[in-house]
Amino acid sequence: MGVAIGIVVVLAIFALIVLASSVRVLREYERGVIFRLGRLVALKGPGLVLLIPVIDRMVRVDLRTVTLNIPPQEVITRDNVPSRVNAVAYFKVVDPNKAIVEVENFLIATSQIAQTALRSVLGKAELDQLLSERERLNEDLQKVIDEQTEPWGVKVSTVEIKDVEIPENMQRVMARQAEAERERRAKIINSEGEFQAAQKLADAADIISENPATLQLRYLQTLLEMGVNQNTTIVFPVPIDLLKAFMGDGGDGGGERQPRAPRPAPEAPLIPDNKPTLDDIEKDLPPSTP
């Protein structure tokens, strides 16, 4: 009797173990790929899943988006600049059967494809494009990786370049280039400001030239501004037009100068027509003494 009870107890325990091994509970984001004697038979889940003990085997597949950190890769750009780039990829399994049957480990396979695509795509771009056109490069990376993982039932939704490391000497060159660019912009802005100011001054001069009283008002305004401060010396600007009335025609500042009469040429000395002879000269001499 005791032996029979022991056998029953053992059988009951064995039945509980077999029942526990044949029952699976899958969460909402999980699916179970069922293999029966090595053959793919069905996709189960979520909820309660019953398996045939020893015959059926189930593989769990997570359908949530996976964040994959792509390790830093040594990349040489198209303009021969070495750089170190790392990125992050987001993907999820859309077909659990393919993800288990078509590839041995879809996580490792996706990571290797992402690293290879990162070196390939960024190697075709120049350094300036790598720094300024990240959105386009991210889209190119996403397309390349997604095309490779599509037969595995894996959908790559986003790829983002996280960091780009370049040599220190190249950083110094880029800093000098940026400084020169800022100086160029500052000079252009300064030149444009001077050009606009010159245009405004020319317009103001045209307006003042049409009405002389405007110039007088401007003089008075300048004197008022100078009188606000305690100055010991005041420069009073007087236009030349006001002084013309007080200046004669011969003055230097007003009127037109009269042309001067030409000087007469000097007269030549008169030379007598008859020249003295030798006899006349001897007559004029005093008599000689013996």
The predicted-structure confidence for 118-176, as pLDDT tens digits, reads as follows: 999 998 988 888 888 899 999 999 999 999 999 999 999 999 999 888 888 887 888 88
- pLDDT at residue 150, rounded to an integer: 93
- pLDDT at residue 250, rounded to an integer: 47
What are the boundaries of each domain within the chain? 11-62, 66-166
The predicted-structure confidence for 82-100, as pLDDT tens digits, reads as follows: 899 999 999 999 999 999 9
Closest by CA position to 51, among listed 16, 23, 32? 23
- pLDDT at residue 167, rounded to an integer: 84
The predicted-structure confidence for 229-271, as pLDDT tens digits, reads as follows: 665 666 655 656 655 655 655 445 444 455 555 555 555 454 4
What is the pTM assigned to this prediction? 0.60
Which of the four CATH numbers 3.30.479.30, 3.40.640.10, 3.40.50.10540, 3.50.50.60 does domain 66-166 have?
A: 3.30.479.30
- pLDDT at residue 240, rounded to an integer: 61
User: When comparing pLDDT for 204 and 186, which is higher?
Assistant: 186
